[in-house]
Amino acid sequence: MPSIPYWRLSSFYLCYFALLGATAPFLALYFDHLGFAPARIGELVAIPMLMRCLAPNLWGWLGDRTGRRLLIVRLGALCTLASFSLIFFGHSYAWLALVMALHAFFWHAVLPQFEVITLAHLHGQTGRYSQVRLWGSVGFILAVVGLGELFEHVRLDAYPWAVVTIMGGILLASLWVPNAQPMEQGERRGAKGFVQQLRAPGVLPFYVCVALMQLSHGPYYTFLSLHLQHLGYERSAIGLLWALGVVAEVLMFLLMSRLFARVSIQRLLLGSFLLAALRWALLGTLADVPAVLLLAQLLHAATFGCFHAASIAFVQASFGARQQGQGQALYAALSGTGGALGALYAGYAWNLLGATFTFAVASLAALAAASITAFVLNATRRTPR
């Protein structure tokens, strides 16, 4: 197998997902610390997700058109750092909304293009993707555990400084990564355009399932920390619970190459959706029982680890090299659309209808994705085992 710049690619994933580890568990807590109501918190958290509806498609088209994907990654990392730094100049709702929108526009330019670069370095060895990507999970764990301990001892006013530090790490890591371009496989040469490939059997239903899956994650990413805090869990324990889920995710990434050899992509997706429905039901009803909460967090192995690896493989199998950037960008964009809608409905439903109802809606969304996969996506059998 050709050698790959393993540590250079891995270091970028580590820093990039450390930023997600700093935002997913703690951003809502920071806004709560600033005094915002749940509905406003839901809106502010939804704004970066909404930017994923626009930014990845724009940058994906630009990356496929110019081939300058690494330049886009580096400029995106620089502009993410510069725009988020505006948070030090004001804390009004309007100003924070601007900061959330501006930094997310550039942040979401980065990952889809970097995924294409990584897959190009792998030379078709899709099973090795999970071995590189698992370092993103390690970065997430380091961030949630480290910041959870930090905020047990210092006020949340230090939160923006922690985020800016991690963003600086992303920029430095991007400068260390070598460039690579995807190569056309024989059957893809002269392939149809992006829209025509998008209309191929099973592709559009897959993207609908992506949006539903991310919508189901809305209450989890927006309110899990507040939910657990209100149930009496300490911040350090909350950080460890987030980390536990990502440890399970890392173990899943280590197993994915074996699973790909034995199970079809569609069945992996179906299992992920069904376990997501179970997970949200448990979090909405029995999160006050530590053993149940631990089980729910272990299910992150399926609801993110297996789902994400299978989705990346599906996109790579569905598009030619000249459309890979747009295919990955659409995956990111619909993830953002679903995540934003999930955060918005969670924000409005949380106080009015309670945690149980809010997570029940999430469970139904995951079941809808499972139904589409079982009755539509599986029937097409487009993707390899």
Contacts of 153 (CB under 8 A, 6+ apart): none
In contact, 27 and 156? CB cutoff 8 Å: no
In contact, 34 and 91? CB cutoff 8 Å: yes
Tell me: pLDDT of 49 over 70: yes
Please tell me which residue, 281 or 39, carries the higher pLDDT value.
281
Count CA atoms within 13 Å of residue 109 on its CB side: 26
Mean pLDDT of 373-383: 67
In contact, 215 and 336? CB cutoff 8 Å: no
pLDDT digits (tens, 9 = 90+) for 302-311: 999 999 999 9
For residues 187 and 184, what is the distance between their CA atoms, to the nearest angstrom?
A: 8
Tell me: pLDDT of 382 over 80: no
- Domains of the chain, residue spans: 8-380
Please tell me which residue, 14 or 53, carries the higher pLDDT value.
14
Q: Tokens 């053993």 sit at which residue?
A: 291
The dihedral through the CA atoms of 112, 116, 122, 126 has a sign that is positive
- 305: tokens are 């680890």
Residue 192 has a pLDDT of 65
Q: Please provide the CATH number assigned to the domain covering 8-380.
A: 1.20.1250.20
pTM tops 0.85:
no
Alpha-carbon torsion, ordered 218, 130, 103, 208, to 10 deg? -40
How high does pLDDT run on average in the chain?
87
Mean pLDDT of 360-384: 81
In contact, 222 and 347? CB cutoff 8 Å: yes
